[in-house]
Amino acid sequence: MYWRPEHTIEPLREQLEANLDQKHDLFGPEYLPGPSDTEGDLFEGYELLKTFAVPLQVTADQELTFVLSKWQFDYTVRDDNHRRHLNLALDCGLGERNALGLGFCNLVEKRGPYGEPATEVHG
C-alpha cells in the first residue's frame, strides 16, 4: 500500500511523524520531546516529484518490486526541538524501509539559522 494523489496528505504526514517518533525513541534522549510531543508539523509543504517502481533484493533468494515516491518537503526551522527532529530525519531517513536503503533525505538548499542562504565553509 502506498500514498496516491487522490488521498489527502494527512495519512502521509501522520505516518512520517509516527515513524520519526519511533526513531526518536530509539536514538534520542528520553528527556527531550519527540516530534509528536511538539507543536506544529514537521514540514510546511509536501510536493510529490515522481512515483516509480524499483526491484530490490530483500534476501539472498528473493527480489520484490517496490513502488516508491520521491518528495520535496518544505520547512522553516521553528526552534531547537524542530531542528533536532529535522536532523534526525536527515540522519536516519524517513519511512519504514530504511533497512533496504530507502527513505534517505537530502538537503536541496542549506540555510542559516535565520533563513538566510548558508555560506560554504571549506577547511
Tell me the three cell numbers of residue 36.
509528536
- The pLDDT tens digits of the residues spanning 40-79 come to 999 999 999 998 999 988 889 999 998 888 899 999 899 9
- The pLDDT tens digits of the residues spanning 2-34 come to 667 788 889 889 999 999 999 999 999 999 999
Angle, in degrees to the nearest 10, between helices 10-27 and 80-92: 90
Model pLDDT, residue 84: 94
- Which position has the higher pLDDT, 11 or 113? 11
d(CA 18, CA 36): 7
Is residue 38 predicted with pLDDT exceeding 70? Answer: yes
Single out the residue of 17, 34, 16 nearest to residue 25, CA to CA.
34
**Do residues 65 and 51 lie in contact, with contact meaning Cβ atoms separated by under 8 Å?**
no
Is residue 122 predicted with pLDDT exceeding 60? Answer: no
What is the per-residue burial (b if ≥16 Cβ within 10 Å, else e) of 48-79?
A: eeeeeeeeeeeeeeeeeeeebeebebebebee
